[in-house]
Amino acid sequence: MWSFALARLAGVLGLAVLLGLIFGQLWLWLLGLSCLYAAWQLIDLYRLDRWLSTRPKTDPPDMGGVWGGVVAQIVRLNRRKRFHKQRVLSLLRELRRSTAALPDGVIILSRHREIHWFNPPAGRLLGLKRGLDIGLRIDNLIRNPEFVKYLHGERFAGPLVIRPPKPGECYLSIQAVPYGAGQILMLVRDVTRQMQIEAMRKDFVANASHELRTPLTVISGYLDTLAEDPGVDPAWAGPIHDMRSQTQRMTLIIGDLLELSRLESTEGEAVRDPVDTGALLARLHRDALARGDRPAQVELSIESADGLFGSARDIESAFTNVLVNALKYTPATGSVHMRWWSDAGGAYFSVADTGIGIPEEHLPRITERFYRVDPGRSREQGGSGLGLAIVKHALQLHGGQLDVHSVEGKGSTFTCEFPLVRVWRRPERAVAEAAAQSAPRAKSA
């Protein structure tokens, strides 16, 4: 193409030279034919420009030579661009359609918590209006105080369950996921059904345990009488003893179940009564020392005068269960060490034992109900399998958590951690007084 164009230029110049040689005035001929050539090129350029400015309505102009090549290139580029554009568009449309078809609500929030985009289910679940609400701050529309607190929190730990703005029996689970430069992707799900099932389960457990308690009391009452009745055949002594110990175990399990369902049904956070943990632990320590089957060493060190703000009953329940657990799984020659201390981050109660320990793979699951590391051994110990679940729930109500370290065969350390807001700061002077008061009492006991 280019060689053809060059040949054509050469041909024009050659013709000019030829005509100049024949008719004389060579320069004039050269100038004239060059001008003609330039005009011809200009006309082509003009047609190209016209076509480009009216594209894509008309067909490309039919041009030969270099300009024809350029036109073909432009057409090819256009076709490729249109193809890519179509592909991106259809991809975008597909994406829009699929997010719109999601059964869960999706909302995109800007850095300032303004609504950027939402799909129809989100609009339906939260009562957002398509035209009006884009650009509005979401906490102006969803005004539930828990939601507002969750939205302005620094980290979005787990999903939050709220009652939606519209009145009625309905629950929504909301999960915020931060992405990009502070934007938030918010997922909204209708969890009414799950919440109803959960409520039914809790009610069932509470009612069933409550109903079982009365017949059990009657049975254990008769068994106690039978055990002491001299008229009963001595051959029955063994079975009666077994039956008594099993009814005792069942009473224990039902007691724990009731305690757990009480903790579960407590809404929101625990109350904020001042609790003197030092005195509480001293009492638990005395009780532990009074047990017949305890390990050789049971120690208590109280390193802080601080107490807790919370429910005395729940805290005692949690501490007792952690302690009893340690006592149960530590051999008679081992030791159990209780420790209470506080620092700038909160307050802590830990129980370290030299017992059998827990294999690492079981650690994440030990706070589940009825989860047993070694089923045979635990039943022998007579536990209900609910102790650590009670601890976990009691701590959760206080905003705290349970931390477990364990080495199999060497021992375990259970630490109850309480956040700063729950710590009742007391000056050191009070601890000295408390110690002075508790010392003579310990002696007399």
Partner 1 sequence: METADLTHHISRRFNEDLEKVRSQVLQMGGFVEQQLQKAITALVEGDGRLGEAVATEDYKVNGMEVSIDEECSRILATRSPAAGDLRVIVAIIKTITDLERIGDEGEKIGMIASRLASMERPPDKYRSVKHLGRLVGQMVHDALDAFARMDAQSALRTVRDDKAVDEEYESIQRQCMTFMMEDPRSITRVMEIMWVVRAMERIGDHAKNICEYIIYMVHGTDVRHTSLEDVALQLASAQNNRR
- In whole angstroms, the minimum distance from the beta carbon of 57 to partner 1 comes to 36
Q: 3-class DSSP state for residue 209?
A: helix
Question: b/e map of 396-427 (b: 16 or more CB within 10 Å)?
Answer: bbbbbebeeebeeeebbbbbbbbeeebbbebe
Q: Contact letters (x/-) for partner 1, 154-193, by CB under 8 A?
A: ---------x-xxx--------------------------
- Strands 105-109 vs 401-407: parallel, antiparallel or unpaired: unpaired
Of residues 149 and 283, the one with the C-beta less far from partner 1:
149
- Residue reference for tokens 């951690």: 417
Q: Contact letters (x/-) for partner 1, 88-127, by CB under 8 A?
A: ---------------------------------------x
Of residues 220 and 266, the one with the C-beta less far from partner 1:
266
The binder of partner 1 chosen from 22, 132, 332, 436 (CB under 8 A) = 132
Q: CA torsion sign, 36 to 37 to 40 to 45?
A: negative
Of residues 127 and 239, the one with the C-beta less far from partner 1:
127
- Residue reference for tokens 């224990």: 252
- In whole angstroms, the minimum distance from the beta carbon of 307 to partner 1 comes to 24
The binder of partner 1 chosen from 143, 241, 365, 410 (CB under 8 A) = 143
Which ranges constitute the DSSP H helices of 102-236? 120-126, 130-133, 138-141, 145-152, 192-228
Reading the block at residue 211, the tokens are 């109903």
**Contacting range for partner 1; rule: CB under 8 A; set: 144-152, 285-293, 358-366, 380-388:** 144-152
Q: Does residue 130 bind partner 1 (CB under 8 A)?
A: no
The binder of partner 1 chosen from 139, 190, 259, 353 (CB under 8 A) = 139
The binder of partner 1 chosen from 29, 115, 133, 423 (CB under 8 A) = 133
Reading the block at residue 71, the tokens are 């036109």
Of residues 162 and 254, the one with the C-beta less far from partner 1:
162
Of residues 136 and 435, the one with the C-beta less far from partner 1:
136
User: Would you state the torsion angle of the CA atoms of residues 46, 48, 52, 58, taken in this order, to the nearest 10 degrees?
Assistant: 110
Of residues 16 and 162, the one with the C-beta less far from partner 1:
162
For residue 415, give the nearest of 396, 400, 431, 398 by alpha carbon. 400
Say how far residue 234 (Cα) sits from the centre of its chain: 60
Of residues 262 and 372, the one with the C-beta less far from partner 1:
262
- In whole angstroms, the minimum distance from the beta carbon of 174 to partner 1 comes to 15
Site for partner 1 in 232-271 (CB under 8 A): none
Q: d(Cα 141, Cα 136) in Å, to the nearest integer? A: 8
Phi, psi of 116 (to 5 degrees): -100, -40
- Residue reference for tokens 């002594």: 237
Number of residues interacting with partner 1: please give it, by CB under 8 A: 18
Of residues 191 and 271, the one with the C-beta less far from partner 1:
271
Phi, psi of 210 (to 5 degrees): -65, -45
Q: d(Cα 109, Cα 141) in Å, to the nearest integer? A: 13
For residue 189, give the nearest of 176, 204, 199, 202 by alpha carbon. 176
Q: d(Cα 104, Cα 102) in Å, to the nearest integer? A: 5
- In whole angstroms, the minimum distance from the beta carbon of 164 to partner 1 comes to 11
The binder of partner 1 chosen from 136, 250, 271, 431 (CB under 8 A) = 136
> Strand order of the sheet with strand 172-179?
115-118, 105-109, 183-190, 172-179, 160-162
The binder of partner 1 chosen from 84, 87, 93, 129 (CB under 8 A) = 129
- In whole angstroms, the minimum distance from the beta carbon of 183 to partner 1 comes to 19
Contacts with partner 1 by CB under 8 A lie at: 127, 129, 132-133, 135-137, 139-141, 143-145, 148, 163, 165-167
